[in-house]
Structure 1
Amino acid sequence: MIEGRFGDEDELFFEVELIANNGLELPGDALLDTGFSGWVAMDDRDFEGLD
């Protein structure tokens, strides 16, 4: 499961962890850029069990 959060302008951010060749782990936020600035449609099955 991928968890994220919406920003101030409804952009979707989620945490990623980059791992360098030497094993150094670098956590940070990634922005999902769809190029779409309107509504996002999701299947209601994606919300099962979130009560």
Structure 2
Amino acid sequence: MIEGRFHEEGKLLFEIGLVAADGEIIITDALLDTGFTGWVAINTKI
């Protein structure tokens, strides 16, 4: 399961780790962009 958070503008962000050619892991935020423009159902009872 991937855990994420909502940005102030309502965008969904989650943390990913990128692996460089030398093996170094770079942690950064990624934006989930599905291209969906309608309503989304989210379970708030977690």
> Which TM-score band (shorter chain)?
0.7 to 0.9
Tell me how far apart the structure 2 counterparts of residues 7 and 18 of structure 1 sit (CA, whole Å): 21
Q: CA deviation at 1:39?
A: 2.6
Query: CA 1:4/1:17 → structure 2, altered by over 3 Å: closer, same or farther?
Result: same
Matched residue of 1:39: which SS?
coil
Unmatched 5+ stretches in structure 1: none
Query: CA 1:3/1:11 → structure 2, altered by over 3 Å: closer, same or farther?
Result: same
Higher helix share: 1
- How many residues are paired up? 45
What does 1:8-19 correspond to in 2, within 5 Å? 8-19=8-19
TM value normalised by structure 2: 0.76
Aligned position for 1:28: 28
CA RMSD of aligned residues (A): 1.8
Unmatched 5+ stretches in structure 2: none
Q: CA deviation at 1:38?
A: 4.4
> Taking every aligned residue pair, what percent have the same amino acid on both sides?
56
